[in-house]
Structure 1
Amino acid sequence: MTEPGEARYTNALRQDYEAFQRGDSARLPAIRASLTGIMDVNMKAIVSKQEKTRKTADKALLYIALVSGLCFLVGIVFVYNFPGYIANPIRELTEGIRQIADRKYEQRLHFSSGDEFGELAEAFNSMARKLDEYEHSNLARILFEKQRAEAVIGSLKDAAIGLDNKNIILFANAEALQLLNLPESALVGKDANEAARRNDLLRYLIHEKNPAPIKIVTEGKENFFLRESADIVHNREIIGHIITLRNITAFKEQDLAKTHFIATISHELKTPLAATDLSLKLLDDERTGPLSGDQRELVDSIREDNRRMIRMVSELLDFSKVESGNIALQVQAVPPADILRYALETVARQASGKEVDIHTEIPAAAAPVLADAEKSAWVLVNLLTNAIRYSPPQSAVELTVTDEGKMWLFGVRDQGKGIDASFREKIFERFFRVPEADGGKGTGLGLAIAREFIEAQGGQIGVESEPGKGSYFWFRLPKA
């Protein structure tokens, strides 16, 4: 404490801060006032020192002029004996004063003599050192860095909340304050858990780790945000973390529009396809006239393409229902044998045409399964259809139901080519098909929809396969 009045502000600051640490939050304005007072004292000291420096420089120039005049007179006498003894120090001193006047406070004088010039150089260096300390004071640097950090945080378009490793809220930008509907004073410097007690959204952001999008109504409009968090690391140590909310409303609206478009187009296509299928059945009727061999081949080809189109459209409709979250489930106790019987009746014609035998294995007097019979049978039909499609002719497909205690395991094993390990994790993704598959073209939606149906009933689905050893698709459903 080097300046008049600085001790008074410092003592007041210490007292207010200690009271603030004991929980007296009313001392915060006094703390800010004391800090402002300390800054004002130091800033006035800087101005005062600069004014004194200027006056000193003016006096120094005057003294130099007087000394120069005297030296000129004395120099006439000692011109041959002491030419540089007087001139060189004066030249360095003059240059040093000019540097200080230009705010170059790192300037120093180095006189080795112990006379008056040495004392003047020491005083000059002390003055320059003090000015340099004030110019590069820690207080000014801290204030500048704080303002710059606040400007960067405030310019973020996404809502951002920062917490330290003690769960104290360090900052919240304008977007976050708007979404939380809280003033900055209610968050910054507060314990996050304490502040979250009065705000549901803040409580969700702090405690919930679910990556699903969050729906927030702002200004009467539904907006969707994605929660993201990142640790703040300094010297390989986590000193806090940042929570951000990224606005994905535009992407959500585009996704919804895509789903509605698929549903509309699929629905509009299904009617003419059904009419075409009916017309093909009428052509098969002898009452409409006999068909030649070539005509019948064309009709069979059209019928096969038409059925494939109907299947694709049905899958697209199911896909749109899954994406929109409108899966209507009728979960009830169903005997596993009923699900197997429906699936076998559905694929019987396809299996017979490919000369593929289906071997079934189910425990006698099996306990009911808690599931939607129609959706579960659809999944089993999809797995059997794929198994028949990719199995070689005159081979066998095994359909098994295994008791696993609280769950029933439904399995379909074929003797096809199998699936490479690099594709096994992707086959349940939408629109993915194994490259170079020889089972015909499809939408790549069947397994994706099957996974949605099974998981919606509280079950799991998966695959075990190796190239050249066939594939084993399975799904589990809980017992009733």
Structure 2
Amino acid sequence: MNLKTKITLAFLTMLLLLLGVSAFTLYSLNRLDRSARNVLRDNLYSVELGQHMLRALDRLQAQEAPLDTQAKQRFEQLLAREAGNVTEPGEQQVVDSLFSELADTERYLASDTTALQLWTAHMGQLRQLTYRMVGLNTQALTRKNEAANRLATEQTGYVLALLTFAVLTCLLFVLSVPEAAVSGLRKLSASIENATHQDYSNSIPVEGHDEFGAVARAFNRLLVQLQDYRTSTLAQLLAERNRMVSLVNNLDEGLLLVDENRRLILANPVAQQLLSLPPEQLLNRPAEEIAQQNDLFRELLRHLDTPAAQRPTEAAPVLTLAQHDEEAYYRVSVNDVVSFNEVLDKMEFVGSILTLRNVSEYKKLDQAKSNFLATVSHELKTPLSSINFSLKLLQNGKVGPVNEEQQNILATIKQENQRLLRLVGELIDVSRLESGNIQLNFQAARVAEVVQFAAATIQLQLQPKQLTLDIQIADTLPAVRADIEKTTWVLLNLLANAIRYSPEQAQIHIRAALTTEAQPQIRISVQDHGPGIAPQYQEKIFQRFVQIPDKNGYKGGSGLGLSIAREFIGSQGGQLWVESELGSGSTFSFTLPLARPE
């Protein structure tokens, strides 16, 4: 029998008991009511009639002569009513005797006799018979009242017994049915609680074929499937974990993982070797605590604390470490890890990955390249200078006359030779920058003077395109701390590029103003109205040997000018960048720190 049928039968039984108790109680009350009504109708009415008859006799007997016919008629009427309400044994004989005595009294009245004794005898006989009639009904009333009391007591006992049985039966259902409904839920709740703690062995015992039995069987099947799924999932997770651990441990570069609470949660063997610390002194420890004990980790933490927007975009920093009695170079890379939180429906920061990649081989190759460029540049500079001197002699005619066609050829050769000299000079500057041998001559300088000198130098290059310079520099600008020669070189390079890409009869704007940062600097800008630079090339143009596509077909540059310019400005404590949109020209800007007051 299922649980629903049990509960339904329990409620139906309770309802039937309630109806039975109510019906029996109504029956008992109705029976008592009928008994009381019979007593009132049969006996109490006769007693009342007898009392009224006695009062009528009192009125007749109070007369000296029997002349009160109204009292006599009243007695006759009451006697007639009593004759119609005879209910007790012997009562009929008494009523007949009353009728007979009343007839004798009427004959006495018809004889015109006035004997007082005879009248008194008749009245006494009527009174005696009336008392006997009242006595019979009074005895019957007492007897029936006792019987009614016994019946009431009996019915009360039956009602109490039936009510007790009903209450006990209801209590049985109240205690058993909810327990039967809740016991299964308790077992299910306990099993679910164990399952939440990954204990799938606590199954529910199947004790019947009701709903809970079906639920228990289904839940036990679910536990078996969960156990199988957990076993297979754990095996897959362990396999994936072992695979990932093997990959991380076999990496040829150092790998560190710092969580969002700045605790180090992963360090592969290469990182442990570079930090010279065992795993127990690294894992699950605060990053600041490790940094206090390890200089290399403190340097890595410094790069980690650098905001992502301010981290180098061209090349990650390179650390020089002593390894096996020789210098090793490791490039530091910091990547922030974000993950989507489905509960909060947003992206959240979950940690950072620090990698140390061994770039010693590349560094050696780069150094060899730099040495080769420096050697070639120095070796080329002398013959190119000699060629340039010889070309001047040929053009001057000191070694013999030269015709016009030969002059044109010499001019072309000289132009190409000058380009080679500039390229060699730029290569020499690059080699100096890479070796760190560049010498800076810092001094206080007025921006207006530097700009005027560069503008005067560039005037001849403005004439072929009929370009003009628009210079707006306030005389109140403070002096900057800079290398005047190299700053002028940067400004001339920017102006040369602006002239190259500006349309004819256009203006080139030169601006200088004080920035509003916490540490103010002077910002110098060169704006042209050329074709502009696409966003994907705006950072690449500052890389070495990079040239953006030119629809005008210009290929005279080496791709080193802007790279050297950024190095010159960066070495002076400033920044160089570009702001441009296609079709709207470009604005190259650089900043220089203010000169310290003496």
Mark yes or no: TM-score above 0.5. Answer: yes
1:449 equivalenced with 2:554 (yes/no):
no
1:223 equivalenced with 2:328 (yes/no):
yes
CA contact 1:333–1:370 (8 Å) conserved in 2: yes
Distance 1:355 1:224, change over 3 A: same
Match for 1:323: what amino acid?
E
C-alpha separation between the residues in 2 aligned to 1:189 and 1:470? 53
CA contact 1:233–1:240 (8 Å) conserved in 2: no
- Cα drift, residue 479 of structure 1: 2.7
Q: Percent identity?
A: 40
Within 5 Å, give how 1:34-113 maps onto structure 2.
none
- Cα drift, residue 362 of structure 1: 3.3
1:362 equivalenced with 2:473 (yes/no):
yes
Distance 1:264 1:166, change over 3 A: same
Paired residue for 1:23?
A: none
Higher helix share: 2
C-alpha separation between the residues in 1 aligned to 2:468 and 2:576? 24
1:342 equivalenced with 2:453 (yes/no):
yes
Paired residue for 2:524?
A: 410
Paired residue for 2:545?
A: 431
C-alpha separation between the residues in 2 aligned to 1:137 and 1:463? 57
Within the candidate set 579, 582, 590, 1:475 is matched to 590
Within 5 Å, give how 1:119-198 maps onto structure 2.
153-161=248-256, 169-170=264-265, 172-188=267-283, 190-198=285-293
CA contact 1:370–1:478 (8 Å) conserved in 2: yes
- 1:301-344 Cα offsets, whole Å, 9 max, x none, are 11111111111211222222233333322221012233224323
Paired residue for 1:333?
A: 444
C-alpha separation between the residues in 1 aligned to 2:457 and 2:509? 16
Distance 1:411 1:233, change over 3 A: closer
- 1:71-115 Cα offsets, whole Å, 9 max, x none, are xxxxxxxxxxxxxxxxxxxxxxxxxxxxxxxxxxxxxxxxxxxxx
- Cα drift, residue 188 of structure 1: 4.4
- Cα drift, residue 169 of structure 1: 4.8
Distance 1:402 1:276, change over 3 A: same
CA contact 2:534–2:581 (8 Å) conserved in 1: yes
C-alpha separation between the residues in 1 aligned to 2:584 and 2:287? 56
Q: Give the count of matched residue pairs.
A: 348
1:201 equivalenced with 2:296 (yes/no):
yes
Distance 1:289 1:341, change over 3 A: farther
Q: For the aligned residues, what is the CA RMSD?
A: 3.7
C-alpha separation between the residues in 2 aligned to 1:138 and 1:294? 86
Paired residue for 1:71?
A: none
C-alpha separation between the residues in 2 aligned to 1:390 and 1:285? 34
C-alpha separation between the residues in 1 aligned to 2:234 and 2:525? 72
- 1:119-149 Cα offsets, whole Å, 9 max, x none, are xxxxxxxxxx9xx99xx89999999998777
Distance 1:465 1:288, change over 3 A: same
Give the SS at the match of 2:277.
Answer: coil
Tell me which moved more, 304-313 or 226-235.
Answer: 226-235
Paired residue for 2:59?
A: none
C-alpha separation between the residues in 2 aligned to 1:351 and 1:289? 35
CA contact 2:574–2:591 (8 Å) conserved in 1: yes
C-alpha separation between the residues in 2 aligned to 1:254 and 1:393? 45
Match for 1:429: what amino acid?
Q
Within 5 Å, give how 1:179-328 maps onto structure 2.
179-188=274-283, 190-209=285-304, 211-228=316-333, 231=337, 243-328=354-439
C-alpha separation between the residues in 2 aligned to 1:457 and 1:322? 13
CA contact 2:508–2:527 (8 Å) conserved in 1: yes
Distance 1:408 1:202, change over 3 A: closer
Q: Which of the two has higher C-alpha Rg? A: 2
Paired residue for 1:85?
A: none
TM-score for the superposition, normalised by structure 1? 0.62
Give the SS at the match of 1:380.
Answer: helix
TM-score for the superposition, normalised by structure 2? 0.51
Give the SS at the match of 1:302.
Answer: helix
Paired residue for 2:493?
A: 382
Paired residue for 1:419?
A: 533
- Cα drift, residue 444 of structure 1: 1.4
Distance 1:240 1:360, change over 3 A: closer
CA contact 1:418–1:470 (8 Å) conserved in 2: yes
- 1:57-79 Cα offsets, whole Å, 9 max, x none, are xxxxxxxxxxxxxxxxxxxxxxx
Distance 1:281 1:360, change over 3 A: farther
CA contact 2:477–2:513 (8 Å) conserved in 1: no
Match for 2:320: what amino acid?
K
Within 5 Å, give how 1:14-29 maps onto structure 2.
none
C-alpha separation between the residues in 1 aligned to 2:241 and 2:580? 59
- Cα drift, residue 295 of structure 1: 1.1
- Cα drift, residue 224 of structure 1: 1.5
- 1:327-373 Cα offsets, whole Å, 9 max, x none, are 32222101223322432343233334554444444333653221110
Match for 1:419: what amino acid?
I
C-alpha separation between the residues in 1 aligned to 2:295 and 2:481? 35
- Cα drift, residue 279 of structure 1: 0.9
C-alpha separation between the residues in 2 aligned to 1:241 and 1:331? 40
Q: Which runs of 5+ in 1 are unaligned?
A: 1-128
Match for 1:220: what amino acid?
D
- Cα drift, residue 400 of structure 1: 3.8
CA contact 1:171–1:188 (8 Å) conserved in 2: yes
C-alpha separation between the residues in 2 aligned to 1:163 and 1:429? 32
Paired residue for 2:30?
A: none
C-alpha separation between the residues in 1 aligned to 2:376 and 2:491? 27
C-alpha separation between the residues in 2 aligned to 1:416 and 1:138? 62
